[in-house]
Amino acid sequence: MTRLERPEMRELECFLAVAEHLNFSRAARSLGLSQPPLTRHIQALEGRVGCRLLERDTHSVSLTEPGRRYLEDARAALAILDRASESLRLAREGVTERLRLAFVGALLDDPLVRLFQKFQESHPRCHLEASDLAPAAQVEAILSGELDGGFMGARPEKVPRELDLTVWREEELLLAVPAGHPLAAGDAAGVRTGLSWKALRGQSWVMVSREAAPAFRQQFAGLCAQTGLGTVKIVQESERVTAILAMVAVGSGITLVPEGAGRIITHGVTFLKLARPVPRLQHAFACRRSGSPPSTIKEFLRLLVAASDPRPPGSRR
């Protein structure tokens, strides 16, 4: 089997620039190059990998099928090099530890930001990295060692043996409907006592996908069975709560979201309380189980538990 030559970093940078701009002139300007050396770098890279990565003529540039596959790995390779350079910079500045966390975008609020800040202030030699990641992706990244912990939202019923879960918050789930929707009209909404579950029959729903948030979808299915809604009509799905709320705003359907998600969008969506059984969501923080966890994650967990609401479920009003 012929061994491929390793590309040079500049060749990868040129390839990514052209793949992003799909225009050699704009890609060259973004890199501070003239077009001839950019073209030579692309040709050299294609020579190393043994195939064309880009189709180009006088009018357009596009990725070939091998080019599309190579693009993801090229991005990942440069990201690793960037992280390595950043680690060296931090080490020179006296930062010797790292804590890699993820969160579901809908959970990021002032208390969580303050928790991150408090940890960083008390651990100046630790570099805190935080990223927005869906719950299922968080579990994979924690198990593979790419993350130290994650704020994953709904607590799953089945937890991999390698994970420890800490329930750190509980909040009510609200019904999100398009502004002006009949469910939100006047006294019929029953806002004071909660909207009847029966009123939701026949509605179209938009939901976070089962692949992205399996625990939440399982909880939703349980609520539908418990309240007599049965199988509901889900017309659209997304991995992100922000996209779900945008779908609600344009009238695609209704959905359930944590109470705190009301800050994400303030126009085009009305949030309503539901009658008994009042749906509530337990938020879980996941980290890898080990006999001797790193001191950084132990310290972060200590701060998280101290900041959590100590009241038992059902009493937080």
Smallest Cα–Cα separation from 217: which of 241, 253, 251?
241
Residue type, 196: S
Report the C-alpha gap between 269 and 20 in whole angstroms.
Answer: 34
Q: What confidence score (pLDDT) does residue 234 get?
A: 92
Find the largest Cα–Cα distance for the chain. Answer: 74
DSSP for the chain, written as a single string = -PPPPPPPHHHHHHHHHHHHHS-HHHHHHHHT--HHHHHHHHHHHHHHHTS--EEE-SS-EEE-HHHHHHHHHHHHHHHHHHHHHHHHHHHHTT--EEEEEEE-GGG--HHHHHHHHHHHHH-TTEEEEEEE--HHHHHHHHHHTS-SEEEEEEPPSS--TTEEEEEEEEEEEEEEEETT-GGGSGGGG-TTT-B-GGGGTT-EEEEE-TTT-HHHHHHHHHHHHHHT--S-EEEEEES-HHHHHHHHHTTS-BEEEEGGGGGT--SSEEEE-B-SSPPEEEEEEEEE--SS--HHHHHHHHHHHHHS--SPTT---
Torsion of CA 210, 215, 220, 224, to 10 degrees: 100
- Asked if the model's pLDDT at residue 5 lies above 80, the reply is no
Q: Where are the domains of the chain?
A: 9-91, 97-168+283-307, 172-281
Percentage, residues of the chain above pLDDT 90: 14
Q: What confidence score (pLDDT) does residue 4 get?
A: 62
Q: How deeply is 10 buried, as exposed, middle or buried, from its count of CB atoms within 10 A (0-12, 13-18, 19+)?
A: middle
Check for a shared fold between 9-91 and 97-168+283-307: no
- Asked if the model's pLDDT at residue 293 lies above 70, the reply is no
315 — pLDDT class (breaks 50, 70, 90):
very low
Scored b (16 or more CB within 10 A) or e, 16-44 reads bbbbeeeebeebbebbebeeeebbebbee
The three-point CA angle 130-135-139 to 5° equals: 85
Question: What top-level class would CATH report for the domain 9-91?
Answer: mainly alpha
pTM of the complete model beyond 0.75:
no
Domain 172-281: give its CATH architecture. Answer: 3-Layer(aba) Sandwich (3.40)
317 — pLDDT class (breaks 50, 70, 90):
very low
Per the CB < 8 A criterion, the answer to whether 208 and 216 are in contact is yes
More confident residue, 18 or 83: 18
Average confidence (pLDDT) over 34-44:
90
Question: What top-level class would CATH report for the domain 97-168+283-307?
Answer: alpha beta
Q: Note the pLDDT tens digit of each residue in 220-261.
A: 998 999 888 888 899 999 888 888 999 999 999 999 988 877
Report the C-alpha gap between 34 and 54 in whole angstroms.
Answer: 19
